[in-house]
Structure 1
């Protein structure tokens, strides 16, 4: 008696796995979705946009206090000038995200246009002899600084960045941060030193006019070479279960699915299974349920937001305080000297930030966070000791600034990449927004706090920062196990 095709088909269906590999063997590393990267020219444009935004943020740091005082402002007003852009950037983010369509070209064009207008306003303040034109220019800069969020989101976008590439790309974002921290104050201080004695292009305004030219050239590059990803580059869908079953049974059950006879065989099977109820594979017919976060995951999100805020609070405070404290203390620094000091600390961090790009694929994000926080805390404690002993030397101040700059820049590399590894890809927009708002909150309040550091007392100034870092340390010690994520 011949083999029953119905029973053969049912046995095959019962023994099927829930999914099928796309290839017979493991995919090569170049096609592994965990290691994928976007188009190189577009990625380069995004990383460069972050560099130029960082330089735009920092280039006025060394001379803004002197510029504000020349036009009748105070040191606290100078801190406000440094920190105010992030407030307006935060206000602009949500409306912009409604129109970006999940893409990045529109935000890039907005960043270029806003930066050009902002630097023109800043550069015109001297000739107009109007203090608040500086503030207006920095407010418009804030609309351009929305690009900070899009750079971070691009580097963790699950559609075209593999899970094991995200910390590495976040490292490139922080390298850009370090470049802005080094090059911005140095260039600003150098331009102040050179002077260019005229009402339009002088030591106060030249940083603005130089950045107008830089952004104009970069805008042309964006137009020529940046391309949004045209399609989702996630792995192609698996073959359907019905087609795989029929194809796999051509040899074992004697059913030929090609040619006229296939319809006859399938019709016969359909008649003989008239009274048999076979449930379809549920994973094919149903959609994925809404993702629900656990209490521990919410704790991880809160921990990363706190660390993002703290890192930028401390960095922003030191960046705005160094020129104020340097001028008021026994150092008697000019804007040029203060800019050089800020830049020197940033330059010293560079070898370590570049090493982080190499080590990122081998080190867990939570270890990077712990190391960065420990280095930053050690810098704060050194500065506290120097202030308490009233023995702040150039070398001691530099060591403290170097450890603060290295530690908190290093810690800031993982705040978003860690969340992107623990949460689904569709949450990337929400998590990047939360982290960016935390960055903005820290940057704004830190810049104001740093500008007021001499007035409130330098011991209180550093003490608050130590307290914030200590709270963060308690959080990640409590959530240590929940912070584990894949390397890369």
Structure 2
């Protein structure tokens, strides 16, 4: 068998239905560029979960544990070491997401629909931010931590660009988008497993060195990784070719051209205008073509995007708190980190299977399956809380089920929208979905950290209610959620 045939056989992006490499529905960008975007998503997940676990430490370190960490560079303890208080620690932990949201607005205005510039900006700010965060120990300058965290927050904008790239109709066929979204979820699973494990391992370095120690080592290592990755981006990433300039005739048909979309039967032809439409009028014209049912689909996907990350973030933050407060567990933060990482490892094979399933099963069915699995984990957890039968095995089964179900569901939101709406909406929906993700992650972490204080029954009931609202939405819109597989 020729090498090319062998690679085609084992290629996870290949499909038995594909008979022509130029088939529009199955198109893909260059493999090097695609791998770069997926690796970037993985690096962001490792760092993002690294910070999420830091956030959990703010609430989870009871006095009798002392200085024991799930991960190395705890922002809470690091800030206190340099003279900060608990309020400052909270600002340090939460500020990157705010800077990511603020940075999205100007960046999307000047990216010209391309990806190489955002990649360069993200790598640059990630390196500078991590170096500043690490140097703060040696400089003994508290506010350098805050500056470093703000800079790394700018690099979080690539979360949106990674999602947009994998649903971009210019380079990704309609039968590839859910598959690629599945690969992004695999990156989430890898980050969920490797983040706590590597952090705990690095903490064993200790604090004998004022430059490379338990607080600073993740910053230096991540800065080095991003520097090497930046070189690969410069050498191998191929951006989307710029289209030729539009003629006056083409400019006079902005609405009609936008209606040439993939699998969107609800759109009909619109009369062409004789003069170019101003941008604001063109946008209003585009909005007027979105039907009520399609607005319902948009709201449904945004809700699920927020809910999934709310629940995942709340559990990641709550497990160290709940485990430390439960009499028959009494976890240290390091124990909780290993517990979370083990759950990610267990889920990993199922997330890989989800990639294969995406090529044969409709998005709406995968969404329903993931939601059902996650909801089963929540209701089971509620029952063991009610019967006071919480132990390591029962809690682990609930965590694995919740993590698996809602990770699968996160793969669907943007890919389904990209198949429902015109191609020129992809950038807008990417921003909306990413803002929903950020909202869910931040509010979920806050809710998870306060879960023990508000009562664990209330903690779970709120999440079940949120999922229930989502179930009502996608049940009502079930027929409108139908899209092509893949």
Under TM normalisation by the shorter chain, which class is it?
A: 0.7 to 0.9
Is 1:201 the equivalent of 2:192? no
Does the 8 Å CA contact 1:75/1:451 hold for their aligned counterparts? no
Shift of 1:70: 6.0
TM-score scaled by structure 2? 0.79
Paired residues for 1:216-235 under 5 Å: 216-231=227-242
**Aligned equivalent of 1:441, options 436, 439, 442:** 439
68-77 vs 369-378, greater mean Cα deviation = 68-77
Which of 294, 305, 311 is the aligned partner of 2:308? Answer: 311
Structure 1: which 5+ runs fail to align?
A: 1-26, 234-281
Query: 2:406 is matched with which residue: 404, 408, 418?
Result: 408
Instruction: Answer yes or no: is the 8 Å Cα contact 2:118–2:158 preserved in 1.
Output: yes
User: Who is 1:96 aligned against?
Assistant: 107
- Cross-structure match for 1:323: 320
What are the Cα deviations for residues 226-262 of structure 1, in whole angstroms up to 9, with x where unaligned? 12022569xxxxxxxxxxxxxxxxxxxxxxxxxxxxx
Alignment of 1:30 onto 2:21: yes
| Rg larger in structure | 1
Query: Which residue pairs with 2:128 in the alignment?
Result: 117
1:152 equivalent in structure 2? 163
Tell me, yes or no, if structure 1 residue 358 matches structure 2 residue 356.
Answer: yes
Within the candidate set 40, 47, 52, 1:56 is matched to: 47
Which deviates more from structure 2 when the two are superposed, residues 427-436 or residues 389-398?
389-398
Matches of residues 77-88 of structure 1 in structure 2 within 5 Å?
82-88=93-99
1-structure distance, mates of 2:331, 2:96: 26
Q: Which residue of 2 aligns with 1:212?
A: 223
Q: Sort the Cα spacing of 1:450 and 1:302 in 2 relative to 1 into closer, same or farther, 3 A.
A: same
Contact 1:62-1:336 at 8 Å conserved across structures: no
State the Cα deviation string for residues 106-161 of structure 1 (Å, max 9, x = none). 11011111111222233244445666654443332221010010001001111111
SS in 2 for 1:314: helix
Q: After TM superposition, list the pairs within 5 Å mapping 1:56-455 onto structure 2.
A: 56-62=47-53, 65=57, 66=69, 67=74, 68-69=76-77, 71-72=79-80, 82-127=93-138, 133-195=144-206, 197-231=208-242, 290-291=285-286, 292-330=289-327, 331-455=329-453
Between stretches 296-305 and 286-295, larger displacement belongs to 286-295
Partner in structure 1 of residue 251 of structure 2: none
CA displacement at 1:389 relative to structure 2: 2.8
CA distance in 1, matches of 2:156, 2:142: 22
Q: Partners in 2 of 1:180 and 1:187 — Cα distance?
A: 10
Deviations 1:399-426 (A, max 9, x none): 1111111111100001000011011111
Deviation, 1:85, is 2.2
Give the superposition deviation at 1:336: 2.4
Deviation at 1:191, TM superposition (A): 1.5
Query: Partner of 1:198: helix, strand, or coil?
Result: coil
Deviation of 1:59 (Å): 2.5
Closer, same or farther in 2 for the Cα pair 1:119/1:328, shift >3 Å? farther
Q: How many positions carry a matched residue from both structures?
A: 414
Of 203-212 and 172-181, more deviation after overlay is shown by 203-212
* Residue of structure 1 in register with 2:254 after alignment: none
Kept in 1: contact 2:129–2:150 (CA 8 A)? yes
Match in the other structure for 2:247: none
| Alpha-carbon distance in 1 for matches of 2:464, 2:88 | 25
1:87 to partner: Cα distance: 2.1
Give the Cα separation in 1 of the matches to 2:53 and 2:311.
17
Scaled by the length of structure 1, what TM-score is found?
0.79
Alpha carbons of 1:388 and 1:182: their partners in 2 closer, same or farther (altered >3 Å)? same
Q: Distance in 2 between matches of 1:392 and 1:81?
A: 34
- Superposed CA deviations along residues 40-77 of structure 1, whole A, max 9, x for unmatched, are 11111111110111111122444562531464478897
Distance of 1:186 and 1:108 partners within structure 2: 27
User: What is the distance in 2 between the residues matched to 1:481 and 1:176?
Assistant: 31
| C-alpha separation in 2, matches of 1:132 and 1:317 | 28
Instruction: Go from structure 1 to structure 2 and tell me whether the alpha carbon gap of 1:61 and 1:307 turns closer, same or farther (over 3 Å shift).
Output: closer
